[in-house]
Chain A
Amino acid sequence: MEDMSAYPLEISGDGTPMVSFQKVRKAYGPLVVLDNLDLEVATGEMVSIIGPSGSGKTTVLRMLMTLEQINAGVIYVDGRPLTHMDKAGVLVEATPKHLRARRSDIGMCFQHFNLFPHMTAIQNCMEGPVHVLGLTKAEARDRSEELLELVGMIEKKDQHPSRLSGGQQQRVAIARALAMRPKVMLFDEVTSALDPEVIGEVTNVIRKLVSEHNLTMLMVTHQMGFARDISDRVCFFYDGKIEEQGRPADLFGNPKRERTQQFLSAVKEAV
């Protein structure tokens, strides 16, 4: 058993990070995917995660979304533990109820959109606000229309996903996640399943979010140019660890570590 007293019950004070991974470990059976991961994301910061396939990038986001349980360490969101809870002054593993209460701070967009196929675009956006947040239908509709407008999908609001292109579906998925008003948005390779000509319509939406909204964002991407453009910080993952991180200009322009250099030049050749 891990000694939980090494972890604070909460983080407070100025500069409390919006997201904080502390010594987080994730293993699938004998396969250790992430070990001793420390990662902090400040409020309003846009952090990109890059790295080779299998390095654990998706796993980082999935743990934060509570889609995967962690095996050690603690994740904090907005200063309060997400994966654990305070039981008489000791951190214990979170109950489903605790997860449900805390996960509302986080929203996620997936590589394959995962829209609900039996609902129209606007129904997809209204689902959470009505049934989870308890908004009235009218309130949820207003909020959803506003967001569909933001992502440029208002004209198609009554279409089912099967009638939409990949880029359009992804934009609806972004609106759906935003409708829950999360503090942290997670994007897992949201353009990887798209045809090249529609990638721009999705990245432009993310650009708009970065410039106009004070959301904290974590984005896994294979688009180095995009990551360089919009991130405050880039983390290069290698073999379940952060091999190198820094401002995009530094990491892309002047990578310090050999593995980062190798990865970036391999990516450059592939383009």
Chain B
Amino acid sequence: MSTDGDGSIKVVPVRHVGRWVGVAAALVVVAMIVHTLLSRLPTGQRACQGTGASRVCHAVTEWRFSWDIVFHYFTTSEILHGLLITLELTVIAMAVGIVLGMVLAVMRLSPNRVLSGSAWTYTWFFRGTPVLVQLLVWFNIAILYPRISLGIPFTALSFFSVHTNTVFTPLEAACVALGLNEAAYMSEIARAGLLSVDEGQVEAATSIGMVRRQTLRYVVMPQAMRVIIPPTGNEVISMLKTSSLASVIGVIELLGAATNIYSANYEIMPLLLTASLWYLVVTTILSIGQFYLERYFGRGALRTPPPTPLQRMRHDLAGIVAKFPSRRGLAGAVER
């Protein structure tokens, strides 16, 4: 046992050899990616400057990933309009999905067999068929129902009647199809959340005289949220991208706008990249929102809530700053 001059014992941290090898490998891969992203290709042309003896020529190159074209289209009105439609689709479909999903989950857990059976059947049907098929069916719904009318069944009485295609646009068909499909998934997520709440919570609420609806709203739902939010965040991000399927039925959302442009100018890769970059931007924003939502609904669940990324960064910086003087100082300053 070796001790320092002042008698305190020196702490030697464990060396993580494997971890350093991993870090080195990761750095190499990152370097390769950055290199290829920023690489340039020769166009086959040469550019020359000057005349006579001072004439210099060099091969003309261009970005492998055509970044100039990617960023040129990034903010064009066509792409931005597509982005707006994508956001609209995502928001409406998720709103339908979440509200209907919650209703279905509560129905599914109801002691009433008819209610729970209907909810089960709904989920079975909408989860059991491809979402692309559902999109096409809603898009073509006028084949089954050329007119929408409200009347009394089995009689000729009708209060109003309109052509389906005049009120049901492709965008609306996409909202309905994606929303109803999402509800099936959301209902399972919500059900898992509701089941995760301890039975004792319901008993306690009941014992102070709350009725079933109040218990659900004020006691069960808020606690179920902690379990419901993370997979719902997943669903939102997934919906953002699934909404691109709507381009199949002629909705010009983000991907639709990109394909429209490249079918005219053949800049296929740059425009796919433009669309991808926008999807990444929105996903990033959504992830940040999800973090704070989770924190809000997780209150009370842990004795000390986890730090926000900002708090963690500040803590890490403080740690690094604090490290330097202690290197020069005496050992034994370990506990700081």
Q: Do A and B come from one complex?
A: no
Q: Please list the residues of chain B having a beta carbon within 8 angstroms of any beta carbon in chain A.
A: none
